[in-house]
Amino acid sequence: MENDLRLNILQTAKTLFVNKGYHGMSMREIAEALGVSKAALYYHFKDKEELFLAILRIYLDEMSALLDRLDAQPVPSVEKIRLFVEDVLSQPAEQRATIRLGSQEINQLSPEARQAFGVLYREKFIGKLQRILQDGMDAGELRRMPAETAVWALLGIMFPYFYPAHAQGAPVSTETTRLVADIILDGIAAR
Amino acid sequence: MENDLRLNILQTAKTLFVNKGYHGMSMREIAEALGVSKAALYYHFKDKEELFLAILRIYLDEMSALLDRLDAQPVPSVEKIRLFVEDVLSQPAEQRATIRLGSQEINQLSPEARQAFGVLYREKFIGKLQRILQDGMDAGELRRMPAETAVWALLGIMFPYFYPAHAQGAPVSTETTRLVADIILDGIAAR
DNA sequence: CTCTACTTACTGACCGGTAAGTAAGTAAAA
DNA sequence: TTTTACTTACTTACCGGTCAGTAAGTAGAG
């Protein structure tokens, strides 16, 4: 019970941030959506920025756990990547949108917050992904290229922002998920 | 001379919108950056939304012209796509960021503006791209898949938002551009 | 050649509204 | 009786947008 409101704030704020962006969402809106006073939000979070970072941190932690779990599996790197793509794409759209949110809105924040996020982002997400890709290249499963470029291609496809349908609503269908994984893997696999 | 300020507003506002988002940028900021009064902006543009749309319209027109130019060339679809990727990626980052800006911030706007943009976006950009891709599939150069998914993959890679380096600063190097085009084409080419 | 009427391209002051954030009080639980 | 978890009521700052006014042209009439 005691963390009830805190969790509700995180949930509601995430939805609003995703739909309206950092500056587009107001603290008042969250409060009204939850039926509490605005000041209640400030009991649980120091300021808007801290609330925003808390949301991103939760998602990065989940990503980090997923990547660790996949990396521990006794399968080729290519297979790890396929599982990663399929897992992420089958998440609800709002979930996936969180990482986009972070990358998008990060330069709205204070330098300190930006740096703090940057560290987590690289440690928990990009770094782990890059290592799996690098392993794949070293094992000859993937074509040799700068790991950065491989990450670029992978994430570019996985987190597009072009179709509103991707930002909101239903998860991607299984067929499409598989097709997208194929495209990515054909794009970067060894020839 | 007479459109001088208007063009300067468009230029300055584009930079600010790209860096700070729709709500993150204020009309006051533009005015101050240009050394004119805020009201001068409202002489040239009805409101913030119209200014925003004007910026997007210019970029969509450029894209439209580029796609027409490429489509008119007597080369296979695959080659058209390669040229498209290489052309866009060699644009300055701020230029490329415009399309991201539109997709990102479009749901901040009024329903009318959203619809107006949607029409242009599909007519001048997505539609043309999709037709080139569809031609490629019909000619057997590309693997058969829903044209939407092909567009998704293509644009996802071409307009990523993950590395701040892609959103600002120098254009992508020629090597990287070629590598990225290869990844895309290997991903969607016929096997 | 010049006076009149009008337009273009602004300025500076200001408006209502809303943003983030806070100080002080309170009711219930420990 | 102190701490927890809030609410009420407020401040300060800034937002988009509008207003009346004006300097500098320009175009036509005489």
| Nearest CB partner across the interface for A149, out of B107, B108, B180 | B180
With CA atoms as reference, report the closest residue to B63 among B106, B111, B95, B18.
Answer: B95
Q: What local confidence, expressed as pLDDT, does residue B163 receive?
A: 56
- Taking only the tens place, the pLDDT of each residue in B94-152 is 888 898 888 888 888 999 999 989 999 999 999 999 999 999 999 999 999 999 899 98
The reply to whether B18 touches chain A by the CB within 8 Å rule is: no
Which distant-in-sequence residues (6+ apart) come within 8 Å of B123 by Cβ? B64
Q: Which residue has the tokens 């058209």?
A: B80
Nucleotide nearest to B49 (CA to C1'): D16
Q: What local confidence, expressed as pLDDT, does residue A169 receive?
A: 62
- The answer to whether A161 contacts B103, with C-beta atoms less than 8 Å apart, is yes
Q: In the beta sheet, which residues pair with residue B189?
A: B142
How close B84 gets to chain A, by Cα (Å)?
Answer: 16
> Is residue A43's pLDDT more than 90?
yes
With CA atoms as reference, report the closest residue to B150 among A97, A10, A160, A108.
Answer: A160
Which bases of strand D have any atom within 7 Å of the beta carbon of a protein residue? 4-10, 14-20
Give me the total of CB pairs closer than 8 Å, taking one residue from chain A and one from chain B.
121
* Cβ atoms of B42 and B13 closer than 8 Å: no
End-to-end CA distance of chain B: give it in Å, rounded.
Answer: 55
Average pLDDT, chain A: 90
A55 vs A157: CA distance, rounded Å: 23
Q: What local confidence, expressed as pLDDT, does residue A62 receive?
A: 96
Q: What local confidence, expressed as pLDDT, does residue B166 receive?
A: 53
How close B157 gets to chain A, by Cα (Å)?
Answer: 5
Query: CB under 8 Å, gap of 24 or more: what pairs does B136-143 form?
Result: B136/B76, B136/B77, B136/B78, B136/B80, B136/B81, B139/B76, B139/B77, B140/B190, B141/B76, B141/B77, B141/B78, B141/B189, B141/B190, B142/B77, B142/B78, B142/B188, B142/B189, B142/B190, B143/B188, B143/B189, B143/B190, B143/B191
Phi, psi angles (nearest 5°) of residue A146: -55, 130
Share of chain B above pLDDT 70, in %: 94
Q: What local confidence, expressed as pLDDT, does residue A95 receive?
A: 87
Which distant-in-sequence residues (6+ apart) come within 8 Å of B74 by Cβ? none
> Is residue B167's pLDDT more than 80?
no
pLDDT band of residue B2 (cuts 50, 70, 90) is very low
Burial track A86-114 (b if 16+ CB lie within 10 A, e otherwise): eebbeeebbebbbbbbbbbbbbbbeeebb
Dig out the tokens for B141 from the structure: 């150069």
How close A159 gets to chain B, by Cα (Å)?
Answer: 7
Interface test with A, best of B183, B185, B188 (most A CBs within 10 A): B183
- DSSP letters along B117-156, please? HHHHIIIIIIHHHHHHHHHHHHTTSB----HHHHHHHHHH
- Taking only the tens place, the pLDDT of each residue in A104-148 is 888 889 998 999 899 999 999 999 999 999 999 999 999 999 998
The reply to whether A129 touches chain B by the CB within 8 Å rule is: no
pTM (2 decimals)? 0.91
The reply to whether A179 touches chain B by the CB within 8 Å rule is: yes
Q: Which residues touch strand D (CB under 7 A)?
A: A 2, 4-6, 36-40, 43-44; B 25-29, 38-39, 42, 46-49
> Would you put residue B25 in left (φ > 0), alpha (ψ -120 to 50) or beta?
beta
* Cβ atoms of B16 and B29 closer than 8 Å: yes
Burial track A150-179 (b if 16+ CB lie within 10 A, e otherwise): bbbbbbbbbbbbbeeebbeeebbeeebbeb
